[in-house]
Amino acid sequence: MIPMTLQDIADVTAGTLVLRGGATAETVVEGLVDTDSRKIGPGDVFVAKPGEETDGHLFAPKAVEAGAALVIDERELDLDVPQIVVANAVEALGALGTEVVRRVRSLGRLREIAVTGSNGKTTTKNLLQAIFSRRGETVAPIASFNNEVGAPITFCRLTASTRYLIAEMGASAPGEITRLTRMAKPDVGIVLTVGLAHAGEFGGIEVTLRSKTEMVQALDEGDVAVLNADDARVRTMAEKTAARVVWFGRGDDADVRASDVTTSLDGTRFTLHVPGEEPVDVHFAVIGEHHVTNALAAAAAAHVEGVSAADVRDALQEVTRAERWRMEVVHRGPVTVINDAYNASPDSMSAALRTLAQIAPPDARTIAVLGEMSELGPYAIEEHDRIGLLAVRLNIDQLVVVGRGARALHLGAIAQGSWSGESRFVEDADEAYTLLEAELRPGDIVLVKSSNSAGLRFLGDRLADLAEGRDA
């Protein structure tokens, strides 16, 4: 964080400053800011946020033991460290993040590139970080820090020398993206897709569309909206923004586009076309044609900021995986495991299954271990059934469906009479592991895919370890 006095922080957060430990109102703090006491080190700021399952105030002593220079809390605690007592810790964190961005902005060098969409935000964020970190100090979210807590934690990491802020902006309800853009208004706003992810929480696809549109509505005339030309719903956003629009996509009408796309177990290859430059060939280690969309979005934002196509190519080719547990390919022994179980929606589940079918050599057996796609609300049964049908149409050799929430997927698959494959239903990840432990054989390609709440990402790790011990 940029240096701020305790009084500055108290004023920004509308809190009451409690001086302890020999501090004064002019004592300067410039450490990291976090709500997780395990991440606090000497000089950092701990925000004691009450939660649904526990209360951050209970962990404040551990944060102080770790060296916290300041605790922001909702009630004064018996700790020998300065405290700022606020009415709402989350709102105070947001106010602090907003002020840090404002102060760094005032120095005149900071550019913010923000990304939203139903799928691909974290992957695109990582690609943007890979590109822009080659040009200057770049701050980007850790993991999926994209909500009212994670975003300001990221914003507070800015320093006076930060040149680029990469912001991932997620939402589970209308108005959340607007709040995030008010904390840190983007210069370049990227919208990837509008799909059924979180549709149950939003209340329908049209509400999702309106919520994602909040990104481009926050942009000013001098800003740029980077929009997916291949998504019909995203295309409608061009009419709702004052910003200049730059299109990315697979079609010839896109400003930044890809051609000659192929995918295999060693990654994805495509030719990148950028206005005013010669096409460049890219070998992208992340597998799956759907990740080309994310790469194009990052390339388009980079183009807006004056990064050459060749530099984009070089950065993309250094990325070895989208993110932990996102289309993460693990070659161990004679079995290949694709662990994509950090998140799942109907669109990303479909894309992962298509990738599995595309990359498998003729003599390989394809196995899809699939869990629940959460937060679909009234769409859940229909969408799980549709994924089961897709697996059959793609001729996936074996399905292992895990958990009651995904049972409709299993039923959808076994209802098809023309399939040479097989689907089996198990209650939990342990049962799935036991089943596969007995059946995995050399040459198998195993996809593990589910929403985070299903917990299959750890099953994917266990299967990779199991595969390592198999004889070829």
Q: What is the pLDDT along the chain (472 residues), one digit of tens a residue?
A: 999 999 999 999 999 999 999 999 999 999 999 999 999 999 999 999 998 778 999 999 999 999 999 999 999 999 999 999 999 999 999 999 999 999 999 999 999 999 999 888 888 999 999 999 999 999 999 876 778 999 999 999 999 999 999 999 987 788 999 999 999 999 999 999 997 655 555 567 788 899 999 999 999 999 999 999 999 999 999 999 999 999 999 999 999 999 999 988 888 999 999 999 999 999 988 888 888 999 999 999 999 999 999 999 999 999 876 666 577 887 666 889 998 888 888 988 999 999 999 999 888 999 999 999 988 888 899 999 999 999 999 999 999 999 999 999 999 999 887 778 899 999 999 999 999 989 898 899 999 999 888 889 888 888 878 766 554 4
CA distance readout (Å), 19 to 6, 49, 70, 309: 9, 20, 10, 53
Task: Quote the pLDDT of residue 323.
Answer: 63
Indicate where the chain has its CATH 3.90.190.20 domain(s). Answer: 328-468
Handedness of CA 198, 202, 208, 213 (dihedral sign): negative
Q: What's the CATH fold of domain 328-468?
A: Protein-Tyrosine Phosphatase; Chain A (3.90.190)
Q: What CATH number was assigned to the domain covering residues 4-88?
A: 3.40.1390.10
The CA-atom distances, in angstroms, between 74 and each of 68, 78, 79, 307 are: 17, 13, 14, 45
Amino acid at 243: A
Token pair for residue 256?
């930044």
Check if the beta carbon of residue 56 is closer than 8 Å to that of residue 74: no
CATH number of the domain located at residue range(s) 107-316 in this protein = 3.40.1190.10
List binding-site positions: 117-123
What is the location of CATH 3.40.1190.10 in the chain?
A: 107-316
Q: What pLDDT is recorded for position 330?
A: 77
pLDDT of residue 472: 40
> Which phi and psi angles does 107 have, rounded to 5°?
-80, -15
* Residue ranges of the binding site for ATP: 117-123
pLDDT at 471 (0 to 100): 47
Sign of CA dihedral 155, 221, 301, 341: positive
Q: Are 196 and 216 in contact (CB under 8 A)?
A: no
pLDDT of res. 343: 81
In the chain, CATH 3.40.1390.10 sits at 4-88
